[in-house]
Amino acid sequence: MRRRHALQPDQAARPRLAANLLVGPCDVGRGIFATRAFQPGELILHLAGPRFDRSDPIHLTEAGANLLQTGQRSYIMLQSPGVFANHSCDPNAGIQANRRLVAIRPIAAGDEIRYDYSTTMDEDFWTMACRCGAAGCRGVVTDFRLLPAAVKERYLALGIVQGFIARKERRRSEAPAGQRSSVAAPSDSAFPARNRTR
Ligand SMILES: [Zn+2]
């Protein structure tokens, strides 16, 4: 559903562990599927790729949709098979320690592996209409800080929120009530607001 179409996946460069995954068709295009069972907390895939800064013009290109945010200003360009991981508002996987895609509930062989893109997003310039089909689908994929409080708390407790976002959330929750609204958006406005389909 997201991303993925601008880059040709390099099957020869698949990271380790990819033997446990398969890229295949799904209801939103292509996705990644488990070829064996994963237990909650188990590593599915280590995400890696070239680094890009927030100010890089690549954000304004189609390929920019394949970037995973790993810091307030830092991104990595996802490679196959990770680049094919789709979004779900009711995910069976999440990203720990910025790069480790892990199971957050039991995953069976044949299941599509999805994570919630909002757990990686604090950008102010990217949203995506969501048709993930989950019962609690939010209808839109947007920055983490805009998620319902209960959803944020669950993801934070699971440790599947990118570190720089989790630290911001902690600061926000520790701030006196009257100051909370001022902790929100990054001041960087290098990019126009826009909607993309990925
Ligand atoms: Zn959804």
Note whether residue 77 is domain-resident: yes
Note whether residue 53 is domain-resident: yes
Domain count, the chain: 1
Note whether residue 91 is domain-resident: yes
Q: What backbone torsions phi and psi does residue 189 show, to the nearest 5 degrees?
A: -130, 40
Note whether residue 5 is domain-resident: no
Note whether residue 194 is domain-resident: no
Q: What is the CATH number of the domain that holds 164?
A: 2.170.270.10
Note whether residue 115 is domain-resident: yes
Find the 128 Cα to ligand 1 centroid distance in Å: 10
Structural domain for 107, as ranges: 11-175
Q: Over range 159-185, report the average pLDDT.
A: 78
pTM above 0.85, yes or no: no
Find the 48 Cα to ligand 1 centroid distance in Å: 25
Whether 5 has a pLDDT exceeding 60, the answer reads no
Closest residue by Cα to residue 75 from 101, 98, 102: 98
Find the 19 Cα to ligand 1 centroid distance in Å: 28
Note whether residue 132 is domain-resident: yes
Tell which wins on pLDDT, 173 or 39: 39
- Please classify residue 135 by burial: count the beta carbons closer than 10 Å to its beta carbon, then call 0-12 exposed, 13-18 middle and 19+ buried: exposed
Whether 168 has a pLDDT exceeding 80, the answer reads yes
Q: What is the pLDDT of residues 41-85, one digit of tens each?
A: 999 999 999 999 999 999 999 999 899 999 999 999 999 999 999
Note whether residue 181 is domain-resident: no
Residues surrounding ion ligand 1 at CB below 5 Å: 89, 130, 132, 137
Q: What is the pLDDT of residues 98-121, one digit of tens each?
A: 999 999 999 999 999 999 999 999
Tell which wins on pLDDT, 160 or 19: 160
- Please classify residue 58 by burial: count the beta carbons closer than 10 Å to its beta carbon, then call 0-12 exposed, 13-18 middle and 19+ buried: middle
Find the 127 Cα to ligand 1 centroid distance in Å: 12
Q: Cβ of 6: how many Cβ atoms within 10 Å? A: 13
